[in-house]
Structure 1
Amino acid sequence: MTRHFLIKLLSLNIIIFSLLFVTKTSYAVQLSPPGMGFGVCHWPGTYGMKQSESSVNWFYWGGGGQDWNKIETLRGVYDFSAMDSEIATHFTSKPNTYFWLNILTAMPSTVPDWAKQDPSLGYIELSSTGKASTFPIWNSNFQTVFTALLTKVSEHIYSSDFKYRDKIKAVIMMSGGSFGEMITWADCSNNSDKCNKYLAAGYTDDVYFNALVNWLTPLYIRLFPDYPIVLQLGGGIYGNNTGGRVAEALVNKYGSRMFIKWNGWNRKYAQEPTNLIELIITR
């Protein structure tokens, strides 16, 4: 009787552990479209598709024509010629590929000078090397400028002049990091001087959560109604649970409109979802 009880108790513990493990790791799933393989974090004008990755037939930008400073070099003046040229060049040589749209607005090399110089937007350098920066996405002045930019991007994508709308398989949100990945206070703990500026701009986990869930995501959902929207967890889950909270809130609200992507450079950082995890993510 005692042995039978212990076996039942052990089985129950295993079930509980499994549920906790799935709940914890479900946020680290990349919901890439079935059969489309994994993307690479480079733009086609330079590195293109990794030749060694024969299964890869979609990509997303790491810079180039989708940079904010290429689209809006002068404030309020929008020019998509660099983006369109780059996309056209790529699809001329690789017509059977697809991409995730990613307008890059955080890295020093992708931010227009006027945005860096306008103190009301709250531009913050996060790296002493000058390679990392961000804007406080809860800043109302930045939200106004970003909304105008994204609105113009949407108008361009849905215009009759844009010939590659069916090549877009998802749109990546700019959640603070260089390539759209989430960043929180926990991500810059080794550089306290730079992080103090981030905190001074009004950061708290709740403020960041509110900006992502109640402003940024609804903006993308509204402006790109035909595409899944990608939340890149990235460093946002290092050190606290903010990334998981955001992912859970957005999946509960938007279901399969959300792609949950683990930020990383290669296969070991991503996986196709199992049926169980897919049910959790798309519930």
Structure 2
Amino acid sequence: MTTLPADDALTAQQREVQRFLGRCLLRLQQYEKLMKAIVAHHEISATGLPLASNQEQRIADAASKTLGTLVGALFGSYVTTDESDGATSESDERDDVISFKFKMTLRMSVEDYDRTQSDLKELVLLRNNLVHHFIDQHDLWSLDGCRCAQDTLTAAYSRIDQHFEQLRGWAEHMDQARRLAAEFAQSDAFRDLVIHGIAPDGSVDWPSAGIVRALRDAAAELAIDGWTPVASAGRWIAERLPEHLPAKYGCSSWRQVVHESRLFELRYRDVGGQRAAWYRAKQN
């Protein structure tokens, strides 16, 4: 067997170190790319009619984050604990604007949450050492130093790969939830919930109900001194917004809608010898 000259042997070992380091960095890039996808897509929201999503902005925000920042964004948002109370963050949503928010989470025990968070902080430290300090920590100008560097990189790749497989499992979990959500979003139940404010159990969220918005629109067109005839509003809505009728909301009349919503004042007046109902939005 031919023995390589010392310089050639060192060069070969240095190239192996480069290959091992490149493999680690490529796996880290795959990890960061997948992490950015989870951070950007685990929460979906939209406002207005038609619904306008903020997804492009979320993708852009995630793309600019470092791995450490991504880990911080993931915990408490996508990765949560069994003790989380499910409270949502405050927003600037308005009562008179349709909005929709869908958020996927991965719940863990407090112990698993703390351990996983600590493990990912170590991964961030590992990444930073590989990117910024590796040549300071290893003597790459000696054969022994190169061999030590290769051993370090082999162990590092194993740790990075384990984290990548874990993250891929999380992504598959999220993707399954997204598919189920997409099926629901195409259903009549979803349209009733978002557009009409009618939950799958038939209960009505009156402040967000489409028929309440329709009554407000009718009042804006038909009000006389701030009050609107209920019958006139009903005819106006039936002509322009026929999907918003009392029966859809479990009511037998427009007066019942006005009463059940508890968002309007109801007053009766004598009009041409007949008792007629008029309404207006409750004053704050």
Q: TM-score normalized by structure 1?
A: 0.23
Larger radius of gyration: 2
Q: TM-score normalized by structure 2?
A: 0.23
Q: Which protein, 1 or 2, shows the higher relative CO under an 8 Å CA cutoff with sep ≥ 6?
A: 1
Identify the structure with the greater helix proportion. Answer: 2
